[in-house]
Amino acid sequence: MNVAGISLWAWLGYAGILSGCMMLAHSVWAWCRTARAYGHPPWRVSLHTFRFALKSIHRWSLYLLGGGVVLLLVLGDDVPWSLFATIVAFGLSLLVDEFTPPAILLLGNSRPQTISLRHRLARAVHPFRVVVLFDDCAADSGLRLRLQRRYLKGDNFRTVRGDWRDVAHPFMDMVPHIVFDCNIASPAVVEEARRVQADPGLLKKTLFVVDADGKAPALDSAGVELSPDDVQRITMSEIVLTLRQIGKLGLSPFAEVMFRLESYSENYDDPVQGEAALYADLLKAGAALERKVKE
């Protein structure tokens, strides 16, 4: 089958090259946006991020990429140039993605609520990376959370061997922002909370997520004291709004809408009811946070 004298396979090849180049351009743009959040080109952080990726539970995607490169070299001239260009473009895009350092480290217990939070936060602050060290098997078996688990893998740096501290602590030191879910006081979470409290640099860039009643079991167990009016002590619904006010990411108002829209889509079956609740909550949260910042 020919279209304008060009075979269908050629058109598919051109489409593959175009898609790969668009993905590569997006990956480079995401890295540049992240570099602006760091305030300088984060070359060292990029190298550490890639090194941690090679130890993580999603390392097999990188090994497959390496196998594809070897296969291309073995086949040589037998590979159509369009297929070769497509694989190279997609491969470079994947490499840039893996070298892109995180903008936010989400700390907390591996539970469905926190995995869901990571998914919503990552969609809201796109193209910035939100990395975790979670057990993705802790997600619910529902379709929505299976989708979240698939998106989680690329940003989950949980190690398959070795000490989790060897990954968590460098990330805590390097990232511009830490979001700390304080609702579960597991031993590892309490240890992380104590480390944050002991380091003024970590404490300054950490947002502590408490429940709707202001309770924070992890902070209580770690002995971390924050006043109820502290701008860093927030509820889950205030995360993106607070990052917009005091963060370095340059988030737009659309990020806040996306985050809350994702949240309300999980809690309301009626879209009209969800939109009304979203609008009311946005006004309320904005006014409350504005008072906190002024104080």
The residues, ordered by sequence, that sit 6+ positions from 79 with a Cβ below 8 Å of its Cβ are 72
Q: Helix, strand or coil for residue 134?
A: coil
Q: Residue 176: its pLDDT value, please? A: 92
Q: Does residue 4 have a pLDDT over 60?
A: no
**Average per-residue pLDDT in the chain?**
78
Q: For residues 85 and 280, give the distance between their C-alpha atoms in angstroms, rounded to a whole number.
A: 50
127-161 confidence digits (pLDDT tens): 899 999 987 666 555 545 555 566 667 788 988 77
* Proportion of the chain in helix, strand, coil states, percent, rounded to 5: 65, 10, 25
Domain boundaries, the chain: 2-99, 104-294
Cβ-based burial of 49 (10 A; exposed 0-12, middle 13-18, buried ≥19): buried
pTM over 0.85: no
- Do β-strands 206-210 and 233-235 pair in parallel, antiparallel, or remain unpaired? parallel
Cα–Cα distances in angstroms (integers) from residue 43 to residues 195, 215, 239, 250, in the given order:
26, 39, 28, 21
The residues, ordered by sequence, that sit 6+ positions from 137 with a Cβ below 8 Å of its Cβ are none
Q: Residue 154: its pLDDT value, please? A: 78
pLDDT-above-90 percentage for the chain:
21
Q: Residue 220: its pLDDT value, please? A: 85
Contacts of 190-197 with C-beta under 8 Å, sequence gap 24+, read 190/218, 190/221, 190/222, 191/222, 192/107, 192/168, 193/218, 193/219, 193/221, 193/222, 193/224, 194/222, 194/223, 194/224, 195/169, 196/172, 196/224, 197/222, 197/223, 197/224
Q: Residue 245: its pLDDT value, please? A: 77
On whether the CB atoms of residues 160 and 55 are closer than 8 A, the answer is yes
